[in-house]
Copies of this chain bind each other. A is one copy, B any other.
Amino acid sequence: MLKDFECTQESYAKGILREKGLKSTAQRLAVVHVLHTSGKSLSVGEIHDGVKEMLGVTGLATIYRTLEVFEDLGIVKRLHFPDGGHGYAFSQGEHVHHMVCVGCRVVFDFPECPVESFDYASVEKQGFRVKDHFIQLFGQCGKCAEAA
């Protein structure tokens, strides 16, 4: 099942799911496929539509549940937009940041971490201990730059 869509990214997801004792269902693999092939950040509704196109009837709740699981596993990242909306993007690997085109929401990976070598002294002086961070870059991709 889903043989036609088999690819590195789905194997990657399968591996992580198995590792955690979770099932590789058609719905979950379809979410990976939709997100990865789009190369963009998609809304829950868009993901739902994409999955339905692949599998036929699919419950919306399943999409929400899958995205939650995948976020915990680091397979997808939730991205936030300046307009207040949010979406999900495929994300292979734990510590990758993303850059999103505000025009078409295309996502580029950003493996180097800008804060890795950053000195937190100014906040840690106040008794704070930094444990994690969220970074997202906004910009314009080549295509959207031309169109404008």
Partner of A133 from the list B128, B137, B142 (CB cut-off 8 Å) is B137
Closest B-chain residue to A141, C-beta based? Answer: B128
Structural contact, B108 and A123, CB atoms closer than 8 A: yes
**Interface window among A13-21, A55-63, A77-85:** A77-85
Q: Is B130 touching A139 in the complex (CB atoms < 8 A)? A: yes
- This chain's copy number in the assembly: 2
Q: Please give me the residue from chain B that is nearest to A118 by CB atom.
A: B114
A106 nearest in chain B by CB position: B128
**What is the CB-to-nearest-CB distance from A62 to chain B, in angstroms, rounded to a whole number?**
17
Interface size counted on chain A using CB atoms at 8 A: 35
On whether the beta carbons of B138 and A132 are closer than 8 Å, the reply is yes
The verdict on A129 contacting B139 (CB below 8 Å), with A78-B84, A115-B114, A134-B134 known, is yes
Inter-subunit contact B131/A102 (CB<8 Å): yes
Which residues in B have their C-beta under 8 angstroms from that of A43? none
Closest to A110 in B: B123
How far, in angstroms, from A25 to B114 measured CA to CA in the complex? 41
A-B contact pairs, 25 of them (CB 8 A): A78-B84, A99-B123, A108-B123, A108-B128, A110-B123, A115-B115, A115-B135, A123-B137, A123-B139, A126-B142, A127-B141, A127-B142, A128-B141, A128-B142, A129-B139, A129-B140, A131-B140, A132-B137, A132-B138, A133-B135, A133-B137, A134-B134, A134-B135, A134-B136, A134-B138
